[in-house]
Every structure is written in structure tokens, then in C-alpha cells.
């Protein structure tokens, strides 16, 4: 962990993942971030995503430092090592999925996805500004006054195109394709835009170019790119939403929210006892 990330985490902060968790299910937020309950199980998809993410960091950092793609073998090693390390960090049982019924199948899928990335990633006309870039910025209340809590985030990949525009990139693994509507309203990219504007990477009234690079978990994996932008109105709305979430946390508003996500929730037993 870098000193910059350690410094940010020593401050009072709200991360995008915490914000999103609260909005999905505030009771789960309480179990995870406030009470620190041990998880009842973990999903292979979670470990898989972390391992792919580690390989992507090696991939883009290698290009940034040398101008060349790291070997596919190096990416595969990083992925496999990351997968086993992630699974070993938890004592909770791992739940496997229909598309990944065991660890060997997950490894095979990961290798195919990394091969697609290695072959199809396109950076012509782009310069890599940052990989796993940690940023923080103060949040504001509904009156526009600065609060003593920071929004913290780590941008997966920050590019600059040949016109000088910054592009904030988030990596995803998914089985299903994304809709443009979901991309245009995604809070994670809005958080990236907020952090970049607050840290003066862009002018306060600027549109920030954002995109999702999605590796699809298919028999024949695909790399799909979804582009979008975030402007000052989206950042203002994000700040209001963050302030409302903080108010909910401070007032101990933690309620269960039934949705399709309940099937994989790592606190299902605790929820039923609530």
C-alpha cells in the first residue's frame, strides 16, 4: 500500500464503495463498515475480480514505465497468484458460480480474458498519466459548506489523449453487457470526475471524459469499452447525495433493502436475525 493511500485512510473518509454499499443496502453497510461483522461466505466472483484487477495494474504500469506490454505469462502469474492470495485471506467458505464451478475453471477463464486484453487493448493516441491513482477531496453539506470528511477514491487508469483531454478509466469484469444508460448514471465514474475536478486535474466547469473497460466473462471473452462524460451538474448532485448518505450514517439509519443482490449477500444470516 502506498504512503499516499495510507495517509488518506488515516483521515475521516467516505469511499465510493462505502457510498454505493449504503445506497444498495444501508443495513449491509452497517454490518460491514461499522460493526465489522465477519462475512458468512465469500463469492468466487469477488476473488476473481480482485485477481484480474491486480493483473491489469501490472499490465498498465508496465506500459507506463517501459512503453511495452508485459508478457502474457507475467499477467497470468499475477492473476493466479492474486486469486489464491485473495481466497487464503478469508476463513469464510467460497461460493462458486455456474460459470465458475471450481477454481480451475476460474483460472482458465481468467487466462482467456487476459489474452483478450493483451491482444486487443488499444492505447494508440493515449498517454498513461496514472495507474491506481489515489485521490481525496473534501465533501460539502447541503448548504455548500466544507465538512471534515474526505471522499477517497483510487482511479484504475488515467489516460490523456492526443488532444490533451483526460480520460478516467474503470476496469470491470462482467458476464452481462452494460447499457449506455447505466454507464451514463454510474456513481463510480461521477466520483472519479469529482476527485479530478477537486484536485485541479480539470477546470471546475469542465466535462470529464470517462469510460468503462469491461472484460466479459464468456466462453469466448470480449473486451468492451463504454464511453461517457461527467459535468459540473453531475458532480454537484454527487456532493448532495454524499451529504445525504453521511446524514443517514450519523443518524444511524440502517435498513434492509430486498433486491436481487440478497442472493449473494455475505450477511444474509445476520440480516434475518436483525
Mean pLDDT of 154-167: 97
Helix (H, G, I), strand (E, B) or coil at 2: coil
Mean pLDDT of 226-234: 97
- Are 235 and 219 a contacting pair, CB within 8 Å? no
User: How high is the pLDDT of residue 73?
Assistant: 98
Q: What is the CATH number of domain 12-257?
A: 3.90.320.10
Query: What 8-state DSSP symbol labels residue 37?
Result: P
Write the pLDDT tens digit of every residue in 85-98.
999 999 999 999 99
User: How high is the pLDDT of residue 10?
Assistant: 47
d(CA 256, CA 139): 26
Query: What 8-state DSSP symbol labels residue 260?
Result: G
Q: What is the pTM of this model?
A: 0.91
**Domain boundaries of the chain, sorted by first residue:** 12-257
Q: Give percent of the chain with pLDDT exceeding 70.
A: 96
At residue 2 the predicted structure's pLDDT band, cuts being 50, 70 and 90, is very low
Q: Which of 112, 119, 94, 202 is nearest to 155 (CA)?
A: 202
Supply angle C-alpha 170, 176, 180, rounded to 5.
60
Helices 232-250 and 16-24, interaxial angle, to 10°?
70
Mean pLDDT of the chain: 93
Amino acid at each position: 500500500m502506498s504512503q499516499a493511500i495510507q495517509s488518506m485512510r488515516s483521515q475521516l473518509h467516505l469511499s465510493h464503495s462505502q457510498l454505493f454499499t449504503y445506497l444498495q443496502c444501508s443495513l449491509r453497510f452497517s454490518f460491514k463498515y461499522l460493526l465489522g461483522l465477519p462475512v458468512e461466505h465469500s463469492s468466487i466472483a469477488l476473488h476473481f475480480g480482485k485477481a484480474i484487477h491486480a493483473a491489469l495494474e501490472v499490465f498498465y504500469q508496465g506500459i507506463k514505465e517501459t512503453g511495452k506490454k508485459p508478457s502474457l505469462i507475467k499477467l497470468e502469474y499475477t492473476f493466479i497468484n492474486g486469486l489464491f492470495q485473495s481466497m487464503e485471506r478469508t476463513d469464510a467458505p467460497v461460493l462458486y458460480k455456474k460459470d465458475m464451478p471450481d477454481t480451475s475453471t476460474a483460472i482458465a477463464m481468467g487466462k482467456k480474458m487476459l489474452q483478450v486484453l493483451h491482444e486487443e487493448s488499444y492505447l494508440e493516441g493515449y498517454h498513461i498519466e496514472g495507474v491506481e491513482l489515489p485521490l481525496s477531496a473534501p465533501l460539502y453539506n447541503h448548504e455548500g459548506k466544507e465538512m471534515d470528511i474526505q471522499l477517497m477514491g483510487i482511479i484504475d487508469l488515467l489516460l490523456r489523449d492526443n488532444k490533451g483531454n483526460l480520460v478516467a478509466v474503470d476496469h470491470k469484469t462482467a458476464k452481462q453487457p452494460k447499457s449506455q444508460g447505466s454507464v451514463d448514471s454510474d456513481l463510480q465514474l461521477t466520483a472519479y470526475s469529482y476527485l479530478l475536478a477537486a484536485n485541479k486535474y480539470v477546470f471546475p466547469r469542465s466535462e470529464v471524459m470517462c469510460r468503462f473497460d469491461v472484460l466479459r466473462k464468456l466462453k469466448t471473452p470480449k473486451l468492451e469499452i463504454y464511453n461517457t462524460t461527467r459535468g459540473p451538474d453531475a458532480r454537484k448532485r454527487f456532493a448532495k447525495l454524499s451529504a445525504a448518505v453521511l446524514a443517514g450514517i450519523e443518524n444511524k439509519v440502517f435498513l434492509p433493502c430486498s433486491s436481487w443482490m440478497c442472493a449473494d449477500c455475505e450477511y444474509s444470516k445476520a440480516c434475518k436475525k436483525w
